[in-house]
Structure 1
């Protein structure tokens, strides 16, 4: 296990707090930085984050702060646990405040619409090269609610600098939280982002009452879409058979803990997108990512029928049942075609 370090988690949501618990369990001094003073006071006075992880007692080694100066003083590693849309703003603040080189470990899952950048690319673009030492991504099948209960969880870390990834592996790994390394940062980030699209669709089919057959088909064909796009973008297809591919897909598409599944479920039951998002209380990354994936499919000329159907539901007001009917009425094809195309894309 790593020697004791000061580590800062930027973002006091459920995932950031759960990861802070893992780090505290490993003997590190953990600062959680956030803007909500009431929430930070709850962490410090009650050792709770009642807003996002009710009934979970936090280790006393976790200290909340609204001061970024305090949070970054003497820190070498920052865990970036904020929504995709806030990444650029927070990275700029961190780089403007830090007085020493830092490694940023991002744990968010998304792709930026229009720029079509992965999160590590966004961080690299907006980060100060004099401050930003390395960028690492931590991802995998991991609900914050279960990590906070110290249930067995496995994730992957990846980076352009695998020595940095191995250091983060050592920082987090313990008998409840197992960490693997994967050199394929493109595949890790693409799998993590696109599975939220399939989770939204899975929630819709469950909301419609279509059962297990439909969900099995959706997960299988959804994974094919993810791999099809990912390999064209330079990912290793084997990554999509791992934790950040099929692993993350399974957990996000089958659990009530998944906010993307819950949002899709509400859409499937007839609720409007605006009402669903207003009622969630947390960011549903799959909505923004659906737009980005739709744009990526057009850019790379990759067929992504599930993504296309969901895009029409979310942004063109298509009825959910008619969207599913359209998917089922597509021209017949061979399942082997996808596998051949994915293999050819890697040559």
Structure 2
């Protein structure tokens, strides 16, 4: 059973822990489970000292846990480990796992299943060991192989972009974590998030891919949209595209987050089909590679405005006809 199941500040202890188990406010407390006493603070092994792994390892260290090892393959990750995890030995993955009560797996989504299965096949996991991954796409099902070794799977995804520098540690205070865990382990997962400075947001296993899709669609595709807008402005001769676009985009994003579809402005929302046609002509001249993105987003915008009642059906029809012509 878990060495880590009495959580300070939670309204109830999880299954298997007596109500009188010792607690300490704001951190994981010592517990006695199956007759064994385990320390409140954990030894932590970081598998993948990339931008996310190194920062979260440092955050756990700052919370009082002891990082005992980190795996780092590239020169950049070794330098990052030295900067964020000073004094922590860099070792191979089996060594890192063997020395940790909490294993933090911070590897790419597609690499995670193979890594977990490979370590399971060698018997690397230990009973009572917490195995935590940071993937947004995956819930705890990807960690099912660790269950055979009586290890405890958690999925904690930090919903922020990382620079891999110490500045990220302070930014964790504004970071929500997508949390997926077995119900008895939910308090453990949420306590770890709080210790790192973040806010836990529960995501059911069945909803994990949709959760990640929403974040990626909003944050990742925004980067592409911004880059394309800057490209058009630069080709139009604007001397400082970022200075021109920045305030507008900040305001648009803030309004969209506060108001949803009601924040929509611009030619599509007004039904200005002629303006949209002119935009497409200029894109043909200046940036034809961006035209397809513009058409797709203009179509999606028109349909949302129509559904929301902000665009009249006849205006929407004119816009959609123009956009359909551009796709032929």
Shorter-chain TM-score tier: 0.5 to 0.7
Equivalent position of 2:211 in the other structure: 191
Residue 24 (structure 1) shift: 1.2
2:48 equivalent to 1:11: yes
Please list every run of 5 or more consecutive structure 1 residues that lacks an aligned counterpart in the other structure: 49-57, 111-117, 222-268, 273-312, 337-347
- Cα distance, 1:120–1:87 mapped onto 2, change above 3 Å: same
What TM-score do the two structures reach when normalised by structure 1? 0.53
- Cα distance, 1:173–1:216 mapped onto 2, change above 3 Å: closer
Match of 1:34 among 52, 72, 91: 72
What TM-score do the two structures reach when normalised by structure 2? 0.55
Equivalent position of 1:62 in the other structure: 88
Q: Which has the larger radius of gyration?
A: 2
Equivalent position of 2:113 in the other structure: 88
- Cα distance, 1:94–1:208 mapped onto 2, change above 3 Å: same
- Cα distance, 1:177–1:143 mapped onto 2, change above 3 Å: farther
Residue 197 (structure 1) shift: 1.7
Q: CA RMSD in A?
A: 3.6
Please list every run of 5 or more consecutive structure 2 residues that lacks an aligned counterpart in the other structure: 1-26, 29-39, 230-244, 262-285, 310-328
Match of 1:168 among 161, 185, 189: 189
Equivalents in 2 of 1:40, 1:199: separation in Å? 24
Equivalents in 1 of 2:288, 2:106: separation in Å? 29
Residue 158 of structure 1 aligns to a residue in which SS? strand
Match of 1:77 among 77, 102, 118: 102
- CA offsets per residue over residues 145-178 of structure 1, 9 Å max, x none? 388323123433533423323223334534x613
2:182 equivalent to 1:156: no
Residue 196 (structure 1) shift: 0.7
- CA offsets per residue over residues 260-298 of structure 1, 9 Å max, x none? xxxxxxxxx9698xxxxxxxxxxxxxxxxxxxxxxxxxx
2:248 equivalent to 1:201: no
Q: Highest relative contact order (Cα 8 Å, sep 6+), 1 or 2?
A: 1
Residue 120 (structure 1) shift: 3.0
2:57 equivalent to 1:20: yes
Most deviating of 12-21 and 94-103: 94-103
Equivalents in 2 of 1:189, 1:130: separation in Å? 24
Equivalents in 2 of 1:79, 1:189: separation in Å? 20
